[in-house]
A and B are shown apart, each in its own frame.
Chain A
Amino acid sequence: MSTSRDHVADFGEADEPTALDALERPVEDQGRERGRPQALLYVQKLTKAYPTNRGFFRAPDLVHALNGVSFYLRHRETLGIVGESGSGKSTLGRCLLRLTEPTLGRVVFDGNDLMALAPAELRALRRRMQIVLQNPYTSLDPYMTVGEIVAEGLTVFGLAAGKKDRDEQVLGWCERVGLDRGVTVRYPHELSGGQRQRVAIARALAVGPDFLVLDEPTSALDVSVQAQIVNLLEDLQEQLGLTQLFISHDLRTVQYTAQRIGVMYFGKLVELGRTADVAQRRRHPYTRALFEALPSLHGPRRGLPILRDGEPPNPLAPKPGCAFFTQCPNAERGRCDVEEPTLQEIPERSRHRVACFHPFDDGP
């Protein structure tokens, strides 16, 4: 079926400046033309704007939920996306699968430009790109049994040879995600939150995807269950060679499970790099504030990060310059409120990018 699992890119800690880095720069026709694509997913300047209702007689304005986001995802990599509510994390995840139609930009999945695909082609490709949502209470059909929920994708994509084969596959997936065989005849409301999330994972994996968008997969769960789901996702990723986009506001979980982290603010990526670089170095003032606002379990209390108390940006009335200007402790008047910083590689630190004119120096 899929060939992408056969050429797994190495993402060891080596800092090789590879052609992959070029993927985040505007390069035309990345992908098939270069032979085998090195990244499974390549996203360029992805933008989603919604029209606003300004009243009957006025033309609608545009609100940018997602504004020119570019990055790549290597095979078998987990990229964590963090940010506060309204930063565009979920919109990003949905636009990648074209569940929400992006306004501008490109998504290249394993050499296929998703924006150029006909509906039937996109449908076929969707088998390889699945999503798991935050709330398993609402993302599972209450009138379907667990068995039916997991089997649906197999039927839709014609992946089962007859009923017997389908039932066997369903049982196999239930077992793999840690559910008892007995649950296949149960309904979602009879299950606990953790079990329901396992069903959602089984449903997504049953059709054999290469790429999984996980949108807050653990946020609705109790702490002890969160740990189970995180471990399960890591096991499955390793066994199946999955590539994951892990969207969460929970910095602890993301930094635990992701190899790279992208920090979103106001519809943009403001910092992107390996987990150790982003979490420990925290170059962008927003990243720094976000991580340092996290309560600490052990050791001295952290209190509040240092921020200026300006009004947070208003999406209905965006101002020129950096969106974080009003709160940024490093802001330079005349530059940061005029010019908009773009995601730039930090000199001597390949693969660590920051969109800031005055990032913090190395090390906290």
Chain B
Amino acid sequence: MSAPLLRVRGLGVALREPFGPGYTRVLGDVDLDVGEGEVVALVGESGAGKTMAASALVRLLPDGAKVTGTVELDGQDLGALDERALEHVRGRSVGFVFQDPGAAMHPMYSAGWHVIEAVTLARGLRGAEAKAAAQAVLERVGFPLARFDAYAHELSGGMRQRAMIAIALAGEPRLLIADEPTTALDVLAAARIRTLLGELSRERKLGMLVISHDLAMVAELADRIVVLYAGDVVEVGPTRRVLDHPAHPYTRALLACLPPDPLALPRDRSRRLTVIANPQEDPAGGCRFSPRCSVAALRCRTERPALLPIEGGSARCFLTEGPGVEA
């Protein structure tokens, strides 16, 4: 197998404490691969480090952040690039889609203007050529050209997100990073954007890193899932394996919290939702999830587990060591 499009090894981020000389670890030791045309989902709850991981890939981090590890895109080490070269990567090799497309667009410029600007910056096109290219990409993402001159506030959430995707695609990137692309949208608009992202990934061999807290959304879109907990990757595997046979207790607990599928049978009213114990202080030693884990053993509280291969991926848990454990 050839090298993946994106190869991340040991990515760690520490942010400077607001008052004082210390650093706070927000992300530790993340390994991540995204292949051509592959959709990888980074899932976890708020504060797990999902967005930080995506920002660290192209070093869009607050001042004073310490980054460790290597990030290779298409074999090129992004860590070795200076700021100018990095800017070339952002927007050209890597496109971004954010949760709130309204905030990402300038309120006084039209949707079409944004796409023309992106096409101009990324591909050096001018005038009619730039406009034609912008229209082509807008057409592909299903943005009605009649609304080319509409401003962000005149567009629905779904249309804004389509414009945002067009901007991200303007530089014909190899990798698209989508941070909660459907979270701010209504159910139907979310389904349309999800479907569009899947199509784009397939037809353009576009690698995609989708960040989401929504496991069901990820189930429809991603080929592989990476679960983050407290800055650590705790489980990796193909989507169906992770969701149908979760190996890590955190993944299992997260899935159990969700109310059952509305299209499934009616609820058994004697049953209640499973909950995860409240977050605790990060334990000094031992597994970071152990204070909330329902199956934690003595060893889990004293020793930190490593991310180890299991059948169908890897997991950071002592209890899944050895041959594959079925949930």
Q: Which of A18-55 contact B (CB under 8 A)?
A: none
Determine whether the beta carbon of B187 is less than 8 Å from that of A223. Answer: no
Produce 1/0 per residue, B257-270, CB < 8 A to A: 11111110111000
Contacts of B265 in A (CB 8 A): 280
Contacts of B255 in A (CB 8 A): 297
User: Among B189, B258, B261, which residue has the most Cβ atoms of chain A within 10 A?
Assistant: B261
User: Among B189, B195, B266, B276, which residue has the most Cβ atoms of chain A within 10 A?
Assistant: B266
* Complex Cα gap A94–B276 (Å): 33
Determine whether the beta carbon of A294 is less than 8 Å from that of B187. Answer: yes
Q: How far is the CB of B255 from chain A (nearest CB, A)?
A: 7
Determine whether the beta carbon of B262 is less than 8 Å from that of A303. Answer: no
User: Which single residue of chain A is at the shortest CB-CB distance from B187?
Assistant: A293
Determine whether the beta carbon of A297 is less than 8 Å from that of B188. Answer: no
Q: How far is the CB of B326 from chain A (nearest CB, A)?
A: 15
Binds A, one of B127-135, B210-218, B302-310: B210-218
User: What count of chain B residues pass the 8 Å CB interface test?
Assistant: 42
User: Which single residue of chain B is at the shortest CB-CB distance from A193?
Assistant: B46
Binds B, one of A126-134, A207-215, A246-254, A337-345: A246-254
User: Which single residue of chain A is at the shortest CB-CB distance from B272?
Assistant: A231
Does A227 make an interface contact (CB < 8 A)?
yes
User: Which single residue of chain B is at the shortest CB-CB distance from A327?
Assistant: B188
Q: Taking A252-B261, A256-B259, A256-B273 as contacts, is the C-beta distance between A298 and B244 under 8 angstroms?
A: yes
Q: Determine which of B261, B274, B276 lies in contact with A297 in the assembled complex, contact meaning CB atoms within 8 Å.
A: B261
Q: Taking A256-B267, A296-B220, A296-B263 as contacts, is the C-beta distance between A223 and B213 under 8 angstroms?
A: yes
Contacts of A252 in B (CB 8 A): 216, 258-262
Determine whether the beta carbon of A249 is less than 8 Å from that of B186. Answer: yes
Q: Which of B267-325 contact A (CB under 8 A)?
A: 267, 272-276, 278-279
A contact residues, range: 35 or more
State the main secondary structure of chain A at its contact with B: helix
Q: Determine which of A194, A279, A298, A303 lies in contact with B266 in the assembled complex, contact meaning CB atoms within 8 Å.
A: A279
* Complex Cα gap A335–B68 (Å): 65
Does A312 make an interface contact (CB < 8 A)?
yes
Q: Determine which of B45, B213, B259, B275 lies in contact with A228 in the assembled complex, contact meaning CB atoms within 8 Å.
A: B275
- In the assembled complex, 6 residue pairs joining A and B whose CB atoms fall closer than 8 Å, in A order, are A227-B258, A252-B259, A252-B260, A279-B263, A280-B265, A307-B188
* Other contacts beyond A255-B259, A296-B216: 17, CB < 8 A: A84-B189, A85-B186, A224-B257, A227-B273, A228-B275, A253-B259, A275-B266, A279-B262, A279-B266, A292-B263, A294-B263, A298-B219, A298-B244, A298-B261, A304-B195, A305-B188, A307-B188
